[in-house]
């Protein structure tokens, strides 16, 4: 579904993404993992068409470089790392922004748009909050509003950039459960970036470890979440335990002499 | 003007936790149409302002007489008019063009200001900030001081100066940041405006005798206008208003930031270029005739936002009506307060507008707490 070939991005003369090839099959979920500054977000932004890049990104065989913003928005929905939420905008108005690429001449909203917005709000349990201002909502609710907006885009590909930062562990699971449900229900293809390795491994079908702008390892979570790999690339002391068949990455404090 | 204010929308208050589970109440999803009661109120105020502009002045003429005269002029009604020839001339040849000019200028200044604030996501932006006022001022001053142009050429010189100034600011800003960074664009505008203002001051000082007509224009005036001024700028102003109002929904998408607007399907750079170009053109046309009437572009959209909310699909059309009404009423004050002498309308807009903004600001912010 998503085919990234020889992607490279230079930012301010520094090569941030370097010759990345990555294939995300239709209906699957791939999480990019890697240390700060590894190039995860930049790779996602390149896929979303927000930074200039070398190489090609294809979705469903279509080269994204050939598409305008509107056509691209019908293929890819982005949940950004730090969304700008106008505090006075209501949840339903915000969700309707997801319909931008579908609206008619001069931004006319049709019955179909209203229906999709309503469906998205229902799906994310936000219908009761439809007329609430974004500025008055909790972090978890806002993240659901951002997901509702992305859902209203009705794009087959969902890009998630650190969707769970600043959420407590319960809200993190809420958001990831929702994405997992949507992935199965609607056959979405998901490409995300995430810092929590255990959660990434529990939800994604595949992980891609990125460091220095390159893909270091790519495969099932148990093939990527390996102690020596994580320890080396994150320069971290970790233990990886197998809990109920899934890898759990535990940070370990260095033994201190007493 | 700085990074913080250009992201004014991002300053969301610390959220208070509320229960996240809400029953599916079947609450209607808010419609995206223009709330008509606000537009109705705006139209009512505008009609009242226009009537006041026609009726008030040194020669007292009642609104009823104007109304009946207006009906009498409709050919298919066959009503006569009771108004004297002199009164009719005062109303239709002296006051009506001023009212029409005031409405057009007020409308475009307010809508252009609101549009600039949207594309730059900066509450202080308006066409003056990118050099429209400074460019128009220098164009007018230089044309009269050096070319010896007669005052009838003043609008064209002012218009040309304004357009050149904004193109220079835009080119300078783009060369720095490739059009992606709105702050550098505004800084470029500030730099161009400061430079042109300094040159203009120099020219004024060197030619203090010959540029006397420019002073009145610099302070803003609707006074010398006849219908020819109105018909001169009407096509530009009305065309600009139509294009800007057609963009009002896209401007709401820009509120979430350039990157997100792009990922939602908006060609942000193109929209910004179109809106800046059209708003500048309309404003340049307006100030070329009316002079540098300040304050309207920044204050009217803010007053509208404080009263009716921040959605541009409502802010822009309502700003058009409120801006038009505001300038009509300001002109009434300008020609009645010191009658028969006239105040420059720029003085009135600032003297009336600033306290008005303060009152609205206090009332709305006070109501929040």
ipTM here: 0.88
Q: Minimum mean pLDDT among A25-39, A193-207, B233-247, B290-304: which range? A: B290-304
Instruction: State the pLDDT at residue B347.
Output: 86
Mean model confidence pLDDT for chain A: 91
Q: State mean pLDDT over B167-182.
A: 78
Q: State mean pLDDT over B143-148.
A: 79
Q: CA-nearest residue of chain A to B255?
A: A86
Q: Is A97's CB within 8 Å of B253's CB?
A: yes
In chain A, residues with a C-beta closer than 8 Å to the C-beta of B3 are none
Q: Which residue has the higher pLDDT, A59 or B62?
A: A59
* Shortest CA gap A131–chain B (Å): 7
Q: CA-nearest residue of chain A to B253?
A: A97
Nearest CB neighbour to A139, from listed B15, B27, B268 = B15
Q: State mean pLDDT over B74-92.
A: 71
On whether the CB atoms of residues A129 and A141 are closer than 8 A, the answer is: yes
Q: Is B267's CB within 8 Å of A69's CB?
A: yes
Q: CA-nearest residue of chain A to B7?
A: A84
Q: Is B266's CB within 8 Å of A69's CB?
A: yes
Q: Which residue has the higher pLDDT, B144 or B194?
A: B194
Q: State mean pLDDT over A104-117.
A: 84
Instruction: State the pLDDT at residue B364.
Output: 63
Using the Cβ of B242 and the Cβ atoms of chain A, whether some distance falls under 8 Å is answered with no
Mean model confidence pLDDT for chain B: 81
What share of chain A in percent tops pLDDT 70?
A: 98
Q: Which of A148, A150, A135, A143 is nearest to B9 (CA)?
A: A135
Instruction: State the pLDDT at residue B365.
Output: 57
Beta strand ranges found along B276-323 (DSSP E): none
Q: Does residue B27 surpass a pLDDT of 50?
A: no
Taking the domains of chain B in order of start, what are their residue ranges? 35-365
Structure tokens at B115: 């549009």
* Shortest CA gap B250–chain A (Å): 8
Work out the pLDDT band at B19, boundaries 50, 70, 90: very low
Q: State mean pLDDT over B10-25.
A: 38
Instruction: State the pLDDT at residue B30.
Output: 44
* Shortest CA gap A44–chain B (Å): 12
Using the Cβ of B205 and the Cβ atoms of chain A, whether some distance falls under 8 Å is answered with no
Q: Minimum mean pLDDT among A51-55, A142-146, B75-79, B145-149: which range? A: B75-79
Q: Minimum mean pLDDT among B18-32, B42-56, B212-226, B312-326: which range? A: B18-32
In chain B, residues with a C-beta closer than 8 Å to the C-beta of A45 are 259
On whether the CB atoms of residues B49 and B324 are closer than 8 A, the answer is: yes
Instruction: State the pLDDT at residue B13.
Output: 40
CA angle (A142, A147, A149) in 5-degree steps: 95
Using the Cβ of B30 and the Cβ atoms of chain A, whether some distance falls under 8 Å is answered with yes
DSSP line for A175-239: HHHHHHHHHHHH--EEEEE-S-HHHHHHH-SEEEEEETTEEEEEESHHHH--HHHHHHHHT--EE
Exposed (0-12), middle (13-18) or buried (19+): which is B81, by Cβ within 10 Å?
A: middle
CATH top-level class of B35-365: mainly alpha
Q: State mean pLDDT over A139-165.
A: 91
In chain A, residues with a C-beta closer than 8 Å to the C-beta of B261 are 100
* Shortest CA gap A105–chain B (Å): 10
């Amino acid at each position: 579904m998503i085919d990234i070939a020889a992607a490279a991005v230079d930012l301010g003369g520094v090569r941030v993404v370097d010759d990345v090839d990555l294939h995300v099959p239709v209906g699957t979920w791939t999480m990019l993992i890697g240390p700060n500054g590894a190039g995860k977000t930049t790779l996602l932004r390149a896929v979303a068409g927000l930074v200039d890049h070398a190489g090609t990104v294809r979705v469903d065989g279509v080269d994204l470089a050939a598409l305008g913003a509107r056509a691209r928005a019908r293929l890819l929905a982005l949940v950004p790392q730090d969304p700008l939420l106008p505090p006075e905008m209501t949840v339903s108005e915000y969700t309707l922004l997801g319909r931008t690429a579908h609206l008619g001449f001069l931004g006319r909203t049709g019955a179909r748009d209203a229906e999709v917005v309503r469906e998205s709000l229902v799906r994310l349990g936000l219908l009761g909050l439809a007329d609430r201002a974004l500025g008055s909502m909790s972090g978890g609710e806002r993240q659901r509003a951002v997901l509702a907006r992305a859902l209203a885009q009705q794009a087959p590909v969902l890009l998630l950039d650190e969707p769970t930062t600043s959420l407590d562990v319960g809200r993190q699971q809420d958001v990831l459960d929702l994405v997992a449900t949507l992935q199965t229900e609607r056959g979405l293809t998901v490409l995300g970036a995430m810092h929590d390795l255990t959660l990434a491994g529990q939800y994604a079908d595949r992980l891609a470890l990125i460091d220095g702008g390159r893909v270091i390892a790519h495969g099932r979570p148990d093939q990527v979440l390996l102690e020596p790999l994580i320890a080396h690339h994150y320069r971290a002391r970790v233990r990886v335990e197998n809990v109920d068949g899934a890898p759990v990455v535990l940070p370990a404090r260095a033994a201190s002499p007493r | 003007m700085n990074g913080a204010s250009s992201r004014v929308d991002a300053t969301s208050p610390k959220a208070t936790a509320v229960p996240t589970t809400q029953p599916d109440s079947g609450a209607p999803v808010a419609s995206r149409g223009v709330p008509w009661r606000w537009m109705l109120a705006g139209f009512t105020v505008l009609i009242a302002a226009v009537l006041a502009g026609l009726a008030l002045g040194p020669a007292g003429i009642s609104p009823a007489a104007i109304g009946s005269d207006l009906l009498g002029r409709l050919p298919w009604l066959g009503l006569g008019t009771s108004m004297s020839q002199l009164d009719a001339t005062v109303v239709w040849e002296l006051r009506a063009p001023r009212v029409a000019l005031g409405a057009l200028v007020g409308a475009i200044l307010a809508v252009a200001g609101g549009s600039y604030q949207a594309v730059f996501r900066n509450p202080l932006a308006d066409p003056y900030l990118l050099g429209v006022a400074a460019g128009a001022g220098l164009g007018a001053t230089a044309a009269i001081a050096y070319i010896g142009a007669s005052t009838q050429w003043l609008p064209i010189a002012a218009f040309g100066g304004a357009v050149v100034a904004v193109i220079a600011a835009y080119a300078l800003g783009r060369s720095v940041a490739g059009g992606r960074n709105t702050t550098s664009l505004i800084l470029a505008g500030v730099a161009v405006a400061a430079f042109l203002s300094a040159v203009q001051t120099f020219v004024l000082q060197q030619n203090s005798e010959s540029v006397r007509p420019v002073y009145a224009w610099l302070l803003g005036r609707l006074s010398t206008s006849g219908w020819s001024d109105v018909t001169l700028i009407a096509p530009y102003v009305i065309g600009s208003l139509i294009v800007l109002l057609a963009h009002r929904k896209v401007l709401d998408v820009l509120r979430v930031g350039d990157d997100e607007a792009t990922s939602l399907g908006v060609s942000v750079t193109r929209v910004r270029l179109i809106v800046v170009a059209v708003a500048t053109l309309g404003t340049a046309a307006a100030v070329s005739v009316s002079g540098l009437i300040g304050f309207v572009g920044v204050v009217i959209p803010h007053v509208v936002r404080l009263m009716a909310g921040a959605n541009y699909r409502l802010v822009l059309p309502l700003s058009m009506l409120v801006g038009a009404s505001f300038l009509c009423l300001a002109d009434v004050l300008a020609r009645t307060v010191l009658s028969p002498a006239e105040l420059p309308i720029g003085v009135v807009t600032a003297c009336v507008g600033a306290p008005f903004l303060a009152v609205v600001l206090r009332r709305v912010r006070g109501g929040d707490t």
